[in-house]
Structures are given as C-alpha cells and as structure tokens.
Amino acid sequence: MKHIELKGAVRQAGNKAVVKNIRKQGLVPCNIYGSGIENVLFTVTAKDLKTITHTPNSYIIDLELDNGAKYLAVLHEVQWHPVTDEALHVDFLAITEDKPVVIDVPVIITGHSEGVKLGGKLLVSSRKLRVSALLADLPDNLEVDTTDLMIGKQIVAGDLHYDKISIVSPKATIICSVRPTRATAQAQQA
C-alpha cells in the first residue's frame, strides 16, 4: 500500500477556546493512539490533511512530529463541520508491521460485463471495502472482474476472495450489479 508523509506539531490539551484558536490558524487538532503508545495530541495544517482526506485512495501514513517522534498510522476517524465541510478533528490509529491492519481499500471494476453487452446497465454500489491484512500484504486497490455478470445479477463482498487478505465488510455488501434498462425490459416482453 502507498505511504504518505505527514508532519505535525505536538500540542497540549486545552479547552474550547484553545481548540478554536488552533483552527483559526489553519491547523486541525489531531490525536494518535493505538496499542503500545500513549495518546498523543498534535496539529497538522488543513492543507496537508486534504492530501489524505480528499482522495479516493487509502494510505499508510508516516507521521513525524516536531518532537522527533515517528509513527506508522492509518486514518481512523474524521469529524467534519456540518456546513463548511472542513475537518474539525482527526483521529489516527498507530499500527505495527506484525499485527493485521484494518483499512478501507478502493475497489476497481474491471472487465466488460455480459449483461452490459446485452443492454443492461452496470451500477457500482461500493467504491471501497474494509479489509484486514498485515502491512506488507495490503493492496493499493481491489480488482473486481465483472466479465461474467449477467442482467439482474450482482457481486457482493462475500463472493470475493484474495490471498493473505480478509474482507471485514459485511458479506452482503453489494459491490456492483447489472440492472435491466427499459429497452431490455421491452425486448423481453415482445
């Protein structure tokens, strides 16, 4: 999986006024936690954070703080402002190379479906799937082949199998399906 560097500045816990002042400076308050480390409060610039939050890709984050501490992390949770869509607070989860990582991985649809060739329409319902794997085995994306997909059929998360990766998303999660169009429905009635 791709890595991305993020630099942050350690901060102290504060009340609402302190956090509001941090946001006025163009910074986003963050927190990193995980097994084996204590919670660390820090800030990152909103611009740097957008390289992680405003992309369909998933990344392993190489986090470097101004006190010299370095962490491997994944984006765990983002709290968004309801009106401006600015990040209000971000939680990162520290990870290690010897324990499985749970992360959302983008889905790439490949192949030209038989159902689409017969006049159906391909609908993609899930753009990401939650998977669990060791750090070295995490893929950049998951390919889903739709070549054999017929009209009225669908591919769900339970149908997919990958080496060294287990899918954590519910097995009934619909990835994609081929729906009949009006033209195909009229052709079947005639």
pLDDT for residue 159? 92
Domain 101-189 class, CATH top level: mainly beta
Residue in 43, 41, 61 with CA at minimum distance from that of residue 51: 61
Residue 154 pLDDT exceeds 90: yes
Domain 3-94 class, CATH top level: mainly beta
pLDDT for residue 188? 66
Position 17 confidence tier, pLDDT thresholds 50, 70, 90: confident
Domain segments of the chain as ranges = 3-94, 101-189
d(CA 109, CA 140): 14
pLDDT for residue 16? 85
pLDDT for residue 148? 92
Q: How many residues does the chain have?
A: 190
Mean pLDDT of 49-59: 90
pLDDT for residue 190? 57
Residue 62 pLDDT exceeds 90: yes
10 with 65: CB under 8 angstroms? Answer: yes
The pTM score is 0.81
Share of the chain above pLDDT 70, in %: 97
pLDDT for residue 97? 87
Cα angle vertex 47, ends 74, 101, to 5°? 5
pLDDT for residue 19? 87
Give the burial string for 86-125 (b: 16+ CB within 10 Å, else e): ebeebebbbbeeeebbebbbbbebeeebbbbeebbebeee
Tell me the average pLDDT of the chain. 90
Q: Classify the phi-psi angles of 83: left when phi > 0, otherwise alpha if psi is within -120 to 50, otherwise beta.
A: alpha
d(CA 126, CA 106): 9
Q: 148 CB contacts (<8 Å, ≥6 apart)?
A: 113, 114
